[in-house]
Amino acid sequence: MKTMNLAGYAAALTLSLTMTGSALAQGTLRIGMTASDIPLTTGQTDNGGEGQRFLGYTAYDALVNWDMSSATKPSDLVPGLAASWAVDATDKTKWTFKLRDGVKFHDGSAFTADAVVWNLDKLLVKESPQFDPRQSAQGRSRIPAVASYKAIDPLTLEIVTKTPDATLPYQLAWIMMSSPANWEKQGKSWDAVAKAPSGTGPWKIVNFVPRERVELVPNPDYWDKPRVPKLDKMVLIPLPEANARVAALRSGQVDWIEAPAPDAVASLKQAGFSIVTNAYPHNWTWHLSRVEGSPWNDIKVRKAANLAVDREGLKELLSGMMIPAEGFFPPGHQWFGSPKFKLKHDVAEAKKLMAEAGYGPGKPLKTKILISASGSGQMQPLPMNEFVQQNLAEVGIQIDFEVVEWNTLINIWRAGAKHESSRGATGMNYTYFIQDPFTGFVRHLQCNLAPPAGTNWGSYCDPEMDKLFDQVRNTFEPKEQTAILQKIHEKYVDDALFLMVTHDVNPRAMSTKVKGFVQAQNWFQDFSPITMTK
């Protein structure tokens, strides 16, 4: 038996050396993504945060980029293709962007203000020849503030917003710049561009096999020299099935997988793989209805529910793969501020609050919550929600779940708590991308964003909160803006506006050959500093 095993391993070794040895020697990183297809390669990618991570910020840049260089400090905005920007001193809707000089697209054409105008037209102007419905669908809703734009000179761009809006740089950080010259060269066809794309980013997309793999090689002429990739090649492979991802990693077919299933983490660690995690702007929450008649209109009930949840116990349930919520944003985030209401596990206090609210052992609060069985960013919704359900039952809140399919839940979320599709539920378990002021705060609670105008699902409306949102839009000094965002977060927590439960830790598993990766506290990551050891 022993000799057979040895022979087997020898054969495996020879095979793997002949198969992959040469590739590894040149420093090739192979990543198994969770997406079921290669995200859109033309610029404005699909597949949400993962698409932007792998085919947005790799091959492209935005005018304003995210700083992905640190694992320890929260990620903030940094100049990208725009070297600097400023809002007009008198007219706060008029912004001037000074573009970086000497930047070239991968096809060699120059990046200019005209290229930015062309790219914004690609998303916003249906009549423009380069208008692309697919990229428009991804990008348009990200830049709601933009009213008009024009090139002043090759390196100066002017953008006018509909109303004063200091969050414009955050919005623009979503918008990727593709090459107009390449689009012309590819016969003005975005389908052709998808196979031979051209951006300004640190990586060039080469060799694209739909649904199976895409290869990226470094762009040696990248404008940000420290971010010129050290690897020779990066291969991205869609592996939507969680077990297939783990098998691919363990058999050495890939060096890195996104989102290993929590129950595979222990065995991966045991087999010598590293599990990299970090906080990032994600939350797992119950979005509460504030429609008339909802029990959550009483702050005592909201606070009681928040105090009833045993977040440490939940962490144990998830083998430690979560960050217990201390607020709506993860602890340590630049907008966290110093809320007074502490999200501790205090059943006695919770019971007291419930009694004050008029509930008690003989008179429990009964209500219905919508949840999904699985979905993007939802972690493990069934066991997690059942855990929370038990916690709430202890303080006299009896929850009935209505389980719907994830895409159905998204549609209910768009329709709002008042809509019949919500079936009388007073809350829904939703997971949020909370990376900028709009996605993090405004869209959930601004009065005029109640459905169908927006996604303030619970129809919350507080003039005081709206005033704070206005201040954010009208405060152009970044430090002062941060102070207001902190105030907003404090109000989120102190008023217990959500049932704040946990944050995901964005786990990825990788072979120990992968060196130099710094997991930023961001949905996007920088692959430039990575190297592979033999």
> Which of 363, 453, 480, 515 is close enough to bind another protein by CB under 8 A?
453
Q: Does 237 bind another protein (CB under 8 A)?
A: yes
Q: Does 40 bind another protein (CB under 8 A)?
A: yes
Closest CA to 33 of 254, 318, 193: 254
Q: Does 285 bind another protein (CB under 8 A)?
A: no
Q: Does 224 bind another protein (CB under 8 A)?
A: no
Q: Does 84 bind another protein (CB under 8 A)?
A: no
> Which of 69, 93, 156, 253 is close enough to bind another protein by CB under 8 A?
253
Q: Give the neighbor-by-neighbor strand order of the sheet with 213-218.
A: 203-209, 213-218, 233-238, 28-33, 256-258, 508-510, 274-276
CB atoms within 10 A of CB 152: 12
> Which of 91, 101, 184, 212 is close enough to bind another protein by CB under 8 A?
212
Q: Closest approach of Cβ 134 to another protein, in Å?
A: 6
Q: Does 53 bind another protein (CB under 8 A)?
A: no
- Tell me if 243 sits within 8 A of 294, measured CB to CB: no
Q: Does 513 bind another protein (CB under 8 A)?
A: no
Of 8 and 360, which CB lies nearer to another protein in the complex structure?
Answer: 8
What part of residues 126-155 is at the interface with another protein (CB under 8 A)? 133-134, 137-138, 140-142
**If DSSP codes are grouped into helix, strand and coil, which group holds residue 494?**
helix
> Which of 6, 22, 26, 36 is close enough to bind another protein by CB under 8 A?
36
Of 16 and 69, which CB lies nearer to another protein in the complex structure?
Answer: 16
Q: Closest approach of Cβ 453 to another protein, in Å?
A: 7
Q: Closest approach of Cβ 489 to another protein, in Å?
A: 20
Q: How many residues bind another protein (CB under 8 A)?
A: 55
Between vectors from CA 107 to CA 206 and to CA 238, what angle results, nearest 5°?
25
Burial annotation 178-212 (CB, 10 A radius, 16+ → b, else e): bbbebbeebeeebeebbeebbbbbbbbbeebeeee
Question: Within the chain, how many helices (H) and strands (E) appear?
Answer: 19, 21
- Selected range binding another protein among 4-12, 151-159, 315-323, 381-389, rule: CB under 8 A: 4-12
Closest CA to 118 of 159, 160, 150: 150
Q: Does 447 bind another protein (CB under 8 A)?
A: no
- Tell me if 483 sits within 8 A of 472, measured CB to CB: no
CB atoms within 10 A of CB 30: 24
Does an H or E element contain 150, and which? Answer: strand 146-153
What part of residues 405-424 is at the interface with another protein (CB under 8 A)? 405, 407-408, 410-411, 413-414
Q: Does 474 bind another protein (CB under 8 A)?
A: no
Closest CA to 227 of 61, 24, 30: 61
Q: Is omega for the bond preceding 197 within 30 degrees of 0, making it cis?
A: no
Q: Does 240 bind another protein (CB under 8 A)?
A: yes
> Which of 79, 252, 320, 364 is close enough to bind another protein by CB under 8 A?
252
Q: Closest approach of Cβ 84 to another protein, in Å?
A: 29
Closest CA to 231 of 22, 516, 33, 528: 528
Q: Does 272 bind another protein (CB under 8 A)?
A: no
Using a 10 angstrom Cβ sphere, with 0-12 exposed, 13-18 middle and 19 or more buried, the burial of residue 292 is exposed
**If DSSP codes are grouped into helix, strand and coil, which group holds residue 21?**
helix
- Selected range binding another protein among 12-20, 276-284, 293-301, 349-357, rule: CB under 8 A: 12-20
> Which of 74, 238, 295, 339 is close enough to bind another protein by CB under 8 A?
238
**If DSSP codes are grouped into helix, strand and coil, which group holds residue 457?**
coil
Name 31's bridge partners: 236, 256
Q: Does 21 bind another protein (CB under 8 A)?
A: no
- Selected range binding another protein among 117-125, 160-168, 234-242, 294-302, rule: CB under 8 A: 234-242
Q: Determine the angle formed by the axes of helices 242-250 and 262-270, rounding to 10 degrees.
A: 10
Q: Give the x/- contact pattern for another protein in 164-203, rule: CB under 8 A.
A: --------------------------xx--x---------
Q: Does 266 bind another protein (CB under 8 A)?
A: no
Question: Phi and psi (nearest 5°) for 385?
Answer: -65, -35
Q: Does 263 bind another protein (CB under 8 A)?
A: no
Q: Closest approach of Cβ 296 to another protein, in Å?
A: 22
- Selected range binding another protein among 34-42, 60-68, 303-311, 462-470, rule: CB under 8 A: 34-42
Q: Closest approach of Cβ 126 to another protein, in Å?
A: 9
**Which DSSP letter does residue 441 get?**
I
Which residues make Cβ contacts (< 8 Å) with residue 404, sequence separation at least 6?
Answer: 370, 371, 372, 412
Give the residues lining the site for another protein (CB under 8 A).
8-9, 11-13, 15-16, 19, 36-37, 40, 46, 48, 133-134, 137-138, 140-142, 190-191, 194, 207, 209-213, 237-241, 243-244, 247-248, 250-253, 405, 407-408, 410-411, 413-414, 439, 443, 452-455
